[in-house]
Structure 1
């Protein structure tokens, strides 16, 4: 069933529908007519409200778990609310700072991505996911750029035009020009090789004394290449953090759904394929329940946003996975901010 445009709802129906959805997203419980009438803002009797609720149910926007319960939004209703009625709230300063702190994790970029996924999971109370490139490019250029005392950014440019970054800890007392010397040496001697090949060859040259580098520069080259030493085939295609957040109080009454969701998350390749659908999106995408076949049985929602390099190319996807009862207005901007922050990291 497709959702009707929100403009086709009467003002009264739109307001009652909004209150039901917001109440359900806040409490996880169906919202009844007496609750809606209790505040007095609607200026309607419970009987009048029940009539509107019945109409909304007939339109496929609300459902009633059983005859004595209130109403809750269907997946169609949630889509209508998200697309046409939701008022976004921007991440707080504390939330932005927590996300940005996670991006300073030293070492391979995967470490920063894992920390970012964990931070997003903690803030959203969902499972945080980050999809990273799985291919291993051929080396075209490596540049070591000073970041702060004791740290540098190793920028790798692949022959395919892809760019990857690593944070490198610098040895104390590094002489002036050492970063440039090491960058030039790596580029001149190792261009056209994979990262694994480059690291092995560089280690062999330094060990045999064939590198023509002084001790400080040789150490810097080893540090610059060591952060890429993990074989590309062993890199995680998908980083998932915070699965325990899915086991909240509401999950206790629906263990089969949660079990299905955990099984879905264990199939990382399938999740990565699903997230790949967000790669071509201009902004954050929201998949609600059965809108994505992978999570149709578990009835879960996915909020995902692509992140890009400095050339505007999509290099990965970041997002959260959780129950359909998400605070979409808060989590969607949070995921979007995380994607923008990741984009700044890999520039």
Structure 2
């Protein structure tokens, strides 16, 4: 199955030449160089190509390689080391030449078994991401919106004259803390009054429901709270609501798979990549960019600023719930020499599996 038919991909908007600009001979040699490089990560020389049944002399092959290099599709890392695809060349291959292969029955079974993990959704997501990492030999990524907690109780603990710690306890036992600025001269009794009011009024509600109820009651003057306690209630909910809206659950599994034998010669690149993966907000922003539409997104090297220094590729796919809304993004990250034809369909299948899980 080609990258352009039967499966949805978003092609690059870069200035990569269309595949039609290559002659049949150049296209054949280019494909063989890319296939060889993606297989073992090594440049491919003219002698190797001549022995592959091209029915061309090494001199003719070298001439075509030089043309492909002049087009920016191939590069020679050393004078006599052969050629390897550039990021521009990889983009041309992915958009116009790649023959995708469907996941095997065993690969599909592994992903579905992990997604069926009984327990909290986050554990099933982590297990599925770990399976994707193992099958792709990359780091697996999944991001879903943070589920809103159902409130059980809320309290305020003084931290000094100017701040208090707002403590939220959810129905599932989860506890979250936020620092809230106090109004000048607020008394300790106002902290107790605000906590008691919020627990009695908002227990059993989500944050969105709680905020709507508070705004209604305070706006209609239905609350007997004094001014200081009222301010505390408003600030506490505002801090939680703003923070919850910004955050997502980001799960990364399989970073160790980036340290394979081929990475030994390029440890600086791997170090850059591992550093990038520590920037959870930046990774979440990247996956967020991939959530528009239904298509699989493939970012190769410098096409994405976050991983430009590490020379890495990201394959990401959004997945939707039963109501059609995007509920998450799943993908992998690894070196640019990924087996795109095999990994893209595995990411697609994982996204479909997680859509059923989250639906």
Would the TM-score normalized by the shorter structure come out above 0.5?
Answer: yes
Contact 1:285 1:304 in 2 (8 A): yes
* Aligned pair partner of 2:50 in 37, 42, 55: 37
Q: Secondary structure at the match of 2:206?
A: coil
1:130 matched to 2:145: no
* Aligned pair partner of 1:263 in 246, 270, 275: 275
Quickly say closer, same or farther: Cα 1:287–1:48, change in 2 above 3 A: same
Cα deviations across residues 223-257 of structure 1 (Å, max 9, x unaligned)? Answer: xxxxxxxx979x86210000000001111111111
User: Structure 2: how far apart are the matches of 1:294 and 1:134?
Assistant: 23
Q: Which residue number in structure 2 is paired with residue 237 of structure 1?
A: 249
Q: Which residue number in structure 2 is paired with residue 13 of structure 1?
A: 26
Gaps of 5+ in 1: 140-165, 167-188, 198-230
Cα deviations across residues 296-337 of structure 1 (Å, max 9, x unaligned)? Answer: 000000000001100111011000000001000000000000
Contact 1:5 1:80 in 2 (8 A): yes
User: Structure 2: how far apart are the matches of 1:132 and 1:121?
Assistant: 17
User: Structure 2: how far apart are the matches of 1:193 and 1:287?
Assistant: 37
Q: Which residue number in structure 2 is paired with residue 298 of structure 1?
A: 310
* Aligned pair partner of 1:322 in 304, 319, 334: 334
Contact 1:63 1:72 in 2 (8 A): yes
User: Structure 1: how far apart are the matches of 2:206 and 2:138?
Assistant: 40
Q: Report how many residues are paired.
A: 265
Q: Which residue number in structure 2 is paired with residue 337 of structure 1?
A: 349
Q: Which residue number in structure 2 is paired with residue 151 of structure 1?
A: none
* Aligned pair partner of 1:111 in 111, 114, 123: 123
Q: How does 1:9-88 map to 2 (within 5 A)?
A: 9-40=22-53, 42-88=54-100
1:62 deviates by 0.2
Taking only aligned residues, the RMSD between alpha carbons, in angstroms, comes to: 2.4
User: Structure 1: how far apart are the matches of 2:346 and 2:145?
Assistant: 22
Contact 2:143 2:251 in 1 (8 A): yes
User: Structure 2: how far apart are the matches of 1:262 and 1:317?
Assistant: 20
Q: Which residue number in structure 2 is paired with residue 279 of structure 1?
A: 291
Gaps of 5+ in 2: 1-13, 152-171, 173-201, 211-242
1:195 deviates by 9.9
1:196 deviates by 12
Contact 1:283 1:336 in 2 (8 A): no
Quickly say closer, same or farther: Cα 1:100–1:135, change in 2 above 3 A: closer
1:190 deviates by 6.6
Larger radius of gyration: 2
User: Structure 2: how far apart are the matches of 1:97 and 1:195?
Assistant: 38
1:192 deviates by 4.0
Moved over 6 A (4+): none
1:10 deviates by 0.3
User: Structure 2: how far apart are the matches of 1:127 and 1:248?
Assistant: 12
Contact 1:289 1:301 in 2 (8 A): yes
